[in-house]
Amino acid sequence: MLNDSDSQGPQPSSPQPSSPSTSHQPPATSHRIVAIIEVLLCSDFPTQLAIGATFSAFGYTPFTAPGQLRLGYVVWLSVADSAALIGLVLLFLYAHGERPRDVLLGRRPVAREFALGVPLILVALTLGGIVLLGIRHFAPWLRTVEHNPLQELLRSPRDAWLFAFVVFVAGGLREEIQRAFLLHRFDVWLGGGTVGVLVTSLAFGAGHLLQGADAAIATGLLGAFWGALYLRRRSCVAPLVSHAGFDLMQVVQYMLSKS
């Protein structure tokens, strides 16, 4: 499926200053410092904290009762955070004279990458299922959360549609654009693509600890799968389709189990 006969996409280019002058180029160390700052700002934590603090300042809290998440809060936080993070990614790319299309889509046909991502939904589902079953069989103590709190938000078909929208926008779209940008920065300035996959996958898994340690481990490994796919293809389209399809299938599976 991912055979070596496919031509590789463009090699990532070093972030360059927007000024055309080359007589006073900053040293590589300066570029690395800037790349680290950009990675931290696009790690999702600063944007979510800022947006969450803004909501709280206006009296909009995440809980309707102790331990019960508010679906509307999750929807608005996810949409606002997605817009902010994608905006930051585009801003940083343009600031360095990089074309978002080159970094995010590469040179491969988008339709071809989309078609590749469809069967990879099944690959992701299989990988996630195997990891979770293996953990629950060999290390059941890692199931630290009995019921996924996000699934408790799905109380009606309307809730399911809203949550499906959230997992598509915040899961597939935002996270794969974010992952592509972060891996691009690591690949050029911060130790290489392998280091980038390791760091981003650990952070991706840690961000899902709310759903339990087992879910965090499975999610981190899925993040590594999608990250490796991006580095292989130099396009975030196939990972985006696979990720979004995986998340949507989780929603469908949960709603069918309740019916």
| The pLDDT value given to residue 170 | 87
Domain count within the chain: 1
CA distance 173 to 167: 9
Predicted confidence at residue 259, as pLDDT, reads 62
Q: How large is the angle between the packed helices 237-258 and 157-166, nearest 10 degrees?
A: 160
- Give me the pLDDT at residue 3, please: 44
21: in domain: no
- 42: tokens are 């696009």
- Predicted pLDDT of residue 14: 45
* 22 assigned to some structural domain: no
pLDDT in tens, 84-122: 999 999 999 999 999 999 999 999 999 999 999 999 999
Mean pLDDT taken over the chain? 84
85 token code pair: 């993070």
pLDDT at 238: 96
Enter the tokens of residue 251.
């929603």
10 exposure class (CB count in 10 Å sphere: 0-12, 13-18, 19+): exposed
Q: How far is CA 103 from CA 6, 10, 67, 91, 236, in A?
A: 18, 8, 40, 13, 9
In a domain, 33, yes or no: yes
Which residues sit opposite 68 in a β-bridge? 65
Is residue 250 domain-resident? yes
User: For position 82, what pLDDT does the model report?
Assistant: 93
The Cα–Cα gap between 254 and 152 comes to 10
Sign of the Cα torsion 249, 252, 258, 259 reads negative
Residue 190 falls inside a structural domain: yes
Provide the residue-wise pLDDT of the chain in tens; the chain has 259 residues. Answer: 444 444 444 444 444 433 333 334 444 888 899 999 999 999 988 998 999 899 888 888 887 766 677 888 888 999 999 999 999 999 999 999 999 999 999 999 999 999 999 999 999 999 999 999 999 889 888 888 777 666 677 777 787 888 888 888 988 899 999 999 999 999 998 989 999 999 999 988 888 887 788 889 999 999 999 999 999 999 999 999 999 999 998 888 777 766 6
| pLDDT value, residue 220 | 93
Cα–Cα–Cα angle for 182, 45, 215, rounded to 5 degrees:
85
Q: What is the pLDDT of residue 10?
A: 45
Q: What is the pLDDT of residue 16?
A: 46
Domain, as residue range, for 103: 29-57+70-258
149 within domain boundaries = yes
- Residue 40: predicted pLDDT: 95
